[in-house]
Amino acid sequence: MRKCSLDSLNSVFAKIAEAMALYLPVDGSDGRAVFSKWEDGSVLSNALNTVRSPKDFFFPQSEDLMRFKTEGKNIEIIDIRPESEDFAVFGVRACDVKSFDILDRVFLTEPCDSYYASRREHGVIISLACTRPSETCFCQAFGIDPSTPAGDISCFKTDNEMYWQANTEKGEALLKAIESLTEECTDEAVNEQKEKIRAIMKKLPLASLTTNSFGGGKTTELFDRPEWAELSEACLGCGTCTFVCPTCQCYDIKDFNTGNGVIRYRCWDSCMYSEFTRMAHGNNRISQKERFRQRFMHKLVYYPENNDGLFSCVGCGRCLSRCPISMNIVKVMKKLGGESK
Amino acid sequence: MQKITKEQLIERASALLRDGTVNHVLGWAQGEFDYDITPAVFSDESSLTGNFVWNDFCGANFSKYLVSKCRTLEGKILVFLKPCDTYSFNQLLTEHRFDREKVYAIGIPCEGMADIDKVKAICGDGISSIDCSGEKLSVTSIYEDSPISVNTADVLTERCVNCKSKKHVAYDELLGDEGDILDSARFDEVAKIEAMTPDERFAFWQNELSRCIRCNACRDVCPACTCEVCVFNNPKSGVENKAPANSFEEKMFHIIRAFHVAGRCTDCGECSRVCPQNIPLHLLNRKFIKEMNECYGEYQAGETVGSKSPLTDYTLEDLEPGEVFDRGDINA
Amino acid sequence: MQVKEYKPLIVAFCCNWCSYAGADLAGNNRLNYPADVKIIRVPCSCRVNPMFILRAFQRGADGVILCGCHPGDCHYTSGNYFTRRRMAMLFSMLDFLGIERERTRVEWVSAAEGAKFAATMNDFVTQVAALGENKRLEDLRCKK
């Protein structure tokens, strides 16, 4: 483990930015944290988390896949993806780090998504342990320890120091690059802090949430529960929850006619939308209740069923604070029996 | 603090359910915390006493729910309306969007709603409870030993700071006292942007709109947006898109959204309340309202049922489009 | 290397009953106006919804002009009165967003005003040419 003082953090960032593009959460013009590219003068935000998740770096909201050009009877297909370059994302919280396990299983299993894979290969994730979890946090329900985040490098911020620990080869290489600015140290202070965070986690209002009633094989039990009607009653059908979610991975592939060719692009889609997975006969989920149920069944039942029991929610709490009508996965879980007494 | 209490509302709703005047109650349901309140339909007294809530975080405007609930629910629906909600209520009636006969509206006074993000800016994360019953909000946090006292005025939502009316323009029954139409400073922010140079305005909006994630929450919550299929969702419209692929699409969506409700927007402020990216969408709507007031005479959508909006009306002497820029132009 | 002269692309929406006939008359009278003005015929100026204007910009227009019957002369009695209000609002919104106000215009051109049509187009093209390319309402994907 290595450490640097918080005062010298800026020069450490500068050093990393010499090697590759560095992104970190800074306070935006509206006061909310947002991942931005580091430049001299960037100040690391104190906010617990960003509104948009770091999934954007690996799976952007909208990306061009290819371009078609027709000339006479020939169709030319042009690969327009930009060359991937190395980049690092600093300040990824434990929940968001976990979200990459979930996305990897979707995009990196055969047939592998080469767009996502290339970004994963070039991206270094530098996580940051939480020091002040929010009431909306429930990562512990999914077995995540916010005091000990994974990632290529784990960072721990104490009152005066930033501690760095490499977990992968990529992380080792990056730590090597900043070796001159950090010093070797023991993990005493970090361990002390971890204990403090774990104690706070027990006090959080959502600490009692459990996943016992969910998981693979629960489809028949949960699918027809009458509670779905009540839970989805007020749902507006907007895409806020899916777009701020670090694990939602549905997308649509569309063609855009530019007038001088066609650009094929993909963009995030939301199961909350009425035209989601629309087929020739129309839509198979005709009411908002079915769309709403799909989202939560996918996170809590279908995904774990296909992925060794791994839930596709990491408890980051973004949907809790952003849903226009304050309906969210915690309320769903509690209603369907996910609270230990 | 709200002048009318939760108990009063529950009592009145229960009485109306009991005597059969109404069959359902559209109200606010308690969440996990004291601020995450969900609109809900209550159909019996026990669910009312168990879950109904009325505090400083009941911002949701129920008018739009009437459009769908009047179709799906049997019997009569009781709806609680804050003063600003009653304007949306009237506007939807003007557009024949729900059956007035199926609704029993109770007007309730509102002292302004709090913005949880503003509360968190003061108290930080980790809020375990918020007591709204006193003069000030009393916020308990897991990180503080004693509750933090917060002035309600400091945490009001933008729309409540610039509240345009405490007067109900529609109801079957009024609980509490009637208020007045207020002189608000709601156009000040618009005027400030108008006073910028075009380059500054462009930069301002580029910065704001580039944050849009096209979740469509602003549209889906808007009581004036009641199209069965939005043009942006309709593959046949030619402009359907799900994500803002570039800055053009961001602008197009927001211009069209604001334009489509121009003359019908009551300035209820729901769009800005729900925006996960904190984009001041109400400024676009207010720009239209301000412009129409100045060019075609004062008009408040929803003030009366059946009124004609400026864009569905005309006079022979209207300004020419080129002339709107010439009247006392600060940027000329 | 020869620098290509910048010629703005203009989309002109013309109402079927007056302005389109006015454009026709301009042609019959051999009056000159730039070939970069692309005319789209619409049944009434009132048919033009704000989306049309934005889409024209998206697809590469540098300026959009809307021509209809003179107020009072609308074939459908009142269509152009609605156009007048609607476009006044749209243009002031575009201005509010910092998009150059000189890129949009509404002009009333009757069937007898071939000369006015040509003069208007010449004037509008000059005005837009002075601004240069449309950058603030462009869709890069649509650029070659």
Does the structure show a pLDDT above 60 at C1? no
Any B CB within 8 A of A237 CB: yes
Does the structure show a pLDDT above 50 at B332? no
Q: C70-100 pLDDT, tens per residue?
A: 999 999 999 999 999 999 999 999 999 999 9
Mean pLDDT of chain A: 93
Q: B201-260 pLDDT, tens per residue?
A: 999 999 999 999 999 999 999 999 999 899 998 888 888 888 888 889 999 999 999 999
What are the tokens at A29?
Answer: 């013009």
CA–CA dist A25, A45 (Å, integer): 6
Choose, out of C9, C58, C59, C141, the residue to mutate when testing the contact with A (most A CBs < 10 Å). C141
Q: B70-129 pLDDT, tens per residue?
A: 999 999 999 999 999 999 999 999 999 999 999 999 999 999 999 999 999 999 999 999
Residue C73 lies in a domain: yes
Subunit contact C98:B202, Cβ cutoff 8 A = yes
Tell me, yes or no, whether B90 and B235 share the same domain: no
Residue B133 lies in a domain: no
The confidence score (pLDDT) of residue A340 equals 58
Tell me, yes or no, whether B169 and B201 share the same domain: no
Helix, strand, coil fractions of chain B, as percent rounded to 5: 40, 10, 50
Tell me, yes or no, whether B17 and B165 share the same domain: yes
Question: Which residues of chain B have a CB within 8 Å of the CB of A28?
Answer: 211
Residue C6's pLDDT band (boundaries 50, 70, 90)?
confident
Q: A214-230 pLDDT, tens per residue?
A: 999 999 999 999 999 99
Percent of chain A with pLDDT over 70: 99
Residue B122 lies in a domain: no
pTM, two decimals, is: 0.94
Half-sphere exposure for B70 (CA within 13 Å, toward CB): 19
How many structural domains comprise chain C? Answer: 1
Tell me, yes or no, whether B218 and B256 share the same domain: yes
Q: B263-273 pLDDT, tens per residue?
A: 999 999 999 99
The confidence score (pLDDT) of residue A50 equals 94
The confidence score (pLDDT) of residue A338 equals 65
Per DSSP, helices labelled H in chain C are 19-28, 50-58, 79-96, 114-131
CATH number of C63's domain: 3.40.50
CA–CA dist A340, C68 (Å, integer): 70
Residue A277's pLDDT band (boundaries 50, 70, 90)?
confident
What are the tokens at C104?
Answer: 């949009």
What are the tokens at B323?
Answer: 């002339």
Tell me, yes or no, whether B169 and B210 share the same domain: no
Of the candidates A262, A147, A155, the residue with the CA atom closest to the CA atom of residue A194? A147
Mean pLDDT of chain B: 93
The confidence score (pLDDT) of residue B328 equals 54
Does the structure show a pLDDT above 60 at A341? no
How many structural domains comprise chain B? Answer: 2
What are the Cα distances from residue A168, in Å, to A61, A164, B145?
Answer: 28, 12, 41
Does the structure show a pLDDT above 60 at B329? no
Does the structure show a pLDDT above 50 at B53? yes
For chain A, the three-class secondary structure string (H helix, E strand, C coil) is CEEEEHHHHHHHHHHHHHHCEEEEEEECCCCCEEEEECCCCCCCCCCCCCCCCCHHHHCCCEEEEEEEEEECCEEEEEECCCCCCCEEEEEECHHHHHHHHHHHHHHCCCCCCHHHHHHHHHEEEEEECCCCCCCCCCHHHHCCCCCCCCCCEEEEECCCEEEEEECCHHHHHHHHHCHHHCEECCCHHHHHHHHHHHHHHHHCCCCCECCCCCCCCCHHHHHCCCHHHHHHCCCCCCCHHHHHCCCCCCEEEEEEECCCCEEEEEEECCCCCCCCCCECCECCCCCHHHHHHHHHHHHHHHHHHHCCCCCCCCCCCHHHHHCCCCCCHHHHHHHCCCECC
Residue C117 lies in a domain: yes
Choose, out of B25, B26, B32, B42, the residue to mutate when testing the contact with A (most A CBs < 10 Å). B32
Residue C74 lies in a domain: yes
What is the residue range of B37's domain? Answer: 6-117+155-174
- The predicted model gives B137-158 an average pLDDT of 94
Residue B286 lies in a domain: yes
For residue A234, give the nearest of B40, B117, B215 by CB distance: B40
| Subunit partners of chain B (3 or more CB pairs within 8 A) | A, C
Tell me, yes or no, whether B103 and B162 share the same domain: yes
Tell me, yes or no, whether B306 and B206 share the same domain: yes
For residue B199, give the nearest of C89, C96, C98 by CB distance: C98
Subunit contact A260:C144, Cβ cutoff 8 A = yes
Residue C26's pLDDT band (boundaries 50, 70, 90)?
very high
Tell me, yes or no, whether B301 and B193 share the same domain: yes
Q: Which helix (H) or strand (E) holds B254?
A: helix B247-260
Query: Would you call B77 helix, strand, or coil by DSSP?
Result: strand
Does the structure show a pLDDT above 70 at B262? yes
Does the structure show a pLDDT above 90 at C58? yes
What is the residue range of C113's domain? Answer: 10-142
What are the Cα distances from residue A1, in Å, to A92, A94, A172, A190, C110?
Answer: 18, 18, 11, 10, 81
Tell me, yes or no, whether B168 and B230 share the same domain: no
Nearest CA-CA distance, residue A115 and chain C, Å = 20
Tell me, yes or no, whether B170 and B239 share the same domain: no
Among residues B142, B174, B206, which one ends one of the domains?
B174
Does the structure show a pLDDT above 90 at A81? no
Q: A129-174 pLDDT, tens per residue?
A: 999 999 999 999 999 999 999 999 999 999 999 999 999 999 999 9
What are the Cα distances from residue A170, in Å, to A9, A122, A176?
Answer: 20, 9, 10
Of the candidates B84, B107, B81, B104, the residue with the CA atom closest to the CA atom of residue B176? B107
The ipTM estimated for the assembled molecules is 0.93
With an 8 Å Cβ cutoff, the interface of chain C facing chain B consists of 50-51, 54-55, 57-58, 71-72, 78, 81-82, 84-101, 104-106, 136-141
Residue B331's pLDDT band (boundaries 50, 70, 90)?
very low
Tell me, yes or no, whether B164 and B220 share the same domain: no
Does the structure show a pLDDT above 90 at A275? no
Q: A233-251 pLDDT, tens per residue?
A: 999 999 999 999 999 999 9
- The predicted model gives A284-313 an average pLDDT of 95
- The predicted model gives A246-272 an average pLDDT of 92
Does the structure show a pLDDT above 50 at B275? yes
Residue A83's pLDDT band (boundaries 50, 70, 90)?
confident
Tell me, yes or no, whether B164 and B272 share the same domain: no
Question: Which residues of chain B have a CB within 8 Å of the CB of A203?
Answer: 142
